[in-house]
Structure 1
Amino acid sequence: MKILQTLLLALCTLLSVHATTQTCGGSVNCTCDLSKYNSSVKPPSPTINCTNGVMTVYISKCQLEKSLFNTSNLALLNNTDPDCTSTDYLVDGEVQVGFHNPMSSTKCGNRLQVNATYAIYTNILHIYPEQHPVMTRNNATANLTCIYPLTYHTALNITLKPVSGNTDISVPGVTGTLTVYMTVYTDAQFSQPVTDSTTLTVEQTVYIEVVMPELDANQFNIKVLRIYATPGATDPGAGQVYNLTSGPDGCPDPTYGVGLISVINNGNGSSARYSMSVFQITNQIFLNLYSDITICNTTCAVNCNQKIGKSYTPESVATVNVALVAESDPTSGATGRFSTSWTLVSLISLLIAKFM
Structure 2
Amino acid sequence: MAAPVRIQSKIHPDNFDATESCDGTNRSVSVSRCQLFEAGFPAVVLHLNDPSCKGVAQDGRLVFHFDDNTCGSILEVNSTNFIYKNSIQSFSSVGSRSVVSRDSWLNLNFSCVYPLIQSISAPMTFQAINSVISKNLPGAEGTYQIRMVPYSDASFTSSFSGTVTLQVNQQVFIAVEVDGVDSQVFSTVLDNCWATPYNNPNHYIRWDLISKECPNAKDGTVQVLQNGVSISSHFSFRMFTFTGVSDSFYLHCRVHLCQVNGGHCALPCDDDDGDEDDGHPIVRRRRSLDFHDSTSISMSF
Tell me if both proteins adopt one fold, taking TM over 0.5 as the criterion.
yes
2:136 maps to 1:143:
no
TM-score between the two structures when normalised by the length of structure 2: 0.79
Where does residue 236 of structure 1 map in the other structure?
201
2:73 maps to 1:110:
yes
Higher relative contact order (CA 8 A, sep 6+): 2
Listed one character per residue, the Cα deviations across residues 235-267 of structure 1 (whole Å, up to 9, x for unaligned) are: 132341100122x22x111112x2x11111101
Deviation of 1:100 (Å) = 2.2
Name stretches of at least 5 consecutive residues in structure 2 with no aligned partner.
1-8, 95-100, 271-282
Deviation of 1:311 (Å) = 8.3
Deviation of 1:213 (Å) = 1.1
Spell out the pairing of 1:150-299 with structure 2 (5 A cutoff). Answer: 150-231=116-197, 233-246=198-211, 248-249=212-213, 251-256=214-219, 258=220, 260-283=221-244, 284-298=246-260, 299=264
Could you say if the C-alpha distance between residues 214 and 172 of structure 1 is closer, same or farther in structure 2, counting changes exceeding 3 Å?
same
For residue 21 of structure 2, the aligned residue among 24, 29, 49 is 49
For residue 76 of structure 1, the aligned residue among 48, 55, 73 is 48
2-side partners of 1:180 and 1:79: how far apart?
Answer: 34
Listed one character per residue, the Cα deviations across residues 12-33 of structure 1 (whole Å, up to 9, x for unaligned) are: xxxxxxxxxxxxxxxxxxxxxx
Where does residue 87 of structure 1 map in the other structure?
56
Whichever structure has more helix as a proportion of its residues is: 1
Is residue 69–residue 128 contact of structure 1 (8 Å, CA) maintained in 2? Answer: no
Q: How many residues end up aligned between the 2 structures? A: 268
What letter corresponds to residue 62 of structure 2 in structure 1? V
Name stretches of at least 5 consecutive residues in structure 1 with no aligned partner.
1-39, 325-356
Deviation of 1:130 (Å) = 11
Is residue 163–residue 322 contact of structure 1 (8 Å, CA) maintained in 2? Answer: no
* Runs of 4+ residues over 3 Å off in structure 1: 40-43, 128-131, 314-317
2:297 maps to 1:320:
yes
Could you say if the C-alpha distance between residues 254 and 311 of structure 1 is closer, same or farther in structure 2, counting changes exceeding 3 Å?
farther
Where does residue 303 of structure 1 map in the other structure?
268
Is residue 189–residue 258 contact of structure 2 (8 Å, CA) maintained in 1? Answer: yes
Is residue 71–residue 97 contact of structure 1 (8 Å, CA) maintained in 2? Answer: yes
Larger radius of gyration: 1
Is residue 82–residue 115 contact of structure 2 (8 Å, CA) maintained in 1? Answer: yes
Identity of aligned residues (%): 25
What letter corresponds to residue 162 of structure 2 in structure 1? D
Could you say if the C-alpha distance between residues 297 and 315 of structure 1 is closer, same or farther in structure 2, counting changes exceeding 3 Å?
closer
Listed one character per residue, the Cα deviations across residues 44-80 of structure 1 (whole Å, up to 9, x for unaligned) are: 2522121223322001112222333221332111255
**Secondary structure of the structure 1 residue equivalent to 2:299:** strand
Deviation of 1:278 (Å) = 2.4
1-side partners of 2:18 and 2:293: how far apart?
Answer: 33
Deviation of 1:307 (Å) = 3.0
What letter corresponds to residue 197 of structure 1 in structure 2? T
**Secondary structure of the structure 2 residue equivalent to 1:181:** strand
TM-score between the two structures when normalised by the length of structure 1: 0.67
